[in-house]
């Protein structure tokens, strides 16, 4: 049965849903999975929570944006986030846009609403989604 979910199966055969297959950013022909970027950024000691998503880009089609909630009392800059990524993961997976927030827009069930984050970034950066077909 195809559900569109990404999952892992442990040694005992139990399945764990870890993300969505269609939750993918295509940046200049390279596939970037937001979940992978989020899991990597969680390893930074100053980051409490993170959401990664794509925003339109004229040159690459889409580019990577992350919204970050800092740990209480922690300081972290956009340049430090990008440098942290570039030191350990592929250059095209480093976010172009970094925003620090106090909270994410959430559904009543507690799921982050990435489409609202994407819309807010498009408005703030005056980005326009280009028609491709």
- The CATH number of the domain holding residue 110 is 3.30.300.30
Q: What is the pLDDT of residues 40-81, one digit of tens each?
A: 999 999 999 999 999 999 999 999 999 999 999 999 999 999
Predicted structure pTM score = 0.82
Residues composing the chain:
133
According to DSSP, residue 74 is labeled: -
Q: Is 117 domain-assigned? A: yes
d(CA 133, CA 129): 12
Q: Is residue 17 part of a domain?
A: no
Residue 123: its pLDDT value, please?
97
Tell me if 129 is assigned to some domain: no
- How far is Cα 53 from Cα 66, in angstroms, rounded to an integer? 6
Binned at pLDDT 50, 70 and 90, residue 19 comes out as: low
Q: Is the residue at 70 inside a domain?
A: yes
Say if 132 falls within a structural domain: no
Domain that holds residue 108: 24-124
When divided into structural domains, the chain yields a total of 1
């Amino acid at each position: 049965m195809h559900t569109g979910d990404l999952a892992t199966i442990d040694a005992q055969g139990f399945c764990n849903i870890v993300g969505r297959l269609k939750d993918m950013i295509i940046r200049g022909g390279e596939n970037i999975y937001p979940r992978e970027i989020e899991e990597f950024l969680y390893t930074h000691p100053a980051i409490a929570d993170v959401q990664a998503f794509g925003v339109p880009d004229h040159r690459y089609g889409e580019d990577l944006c992350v919204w970050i909630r800092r740990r209480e009392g922690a300081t972290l800059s956009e340049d430090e986030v990008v440098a942290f990524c570039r030191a350990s993961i592929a250059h095209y997976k480093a976010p172009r846009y970094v925003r620090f927030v106090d909270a994410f827009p959430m559904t009543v069930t507690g799921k982050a609403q990435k489409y609202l984050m994407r819309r807010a970034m498009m408005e703030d950066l005056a980005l326009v989604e280009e028609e491709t077909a």
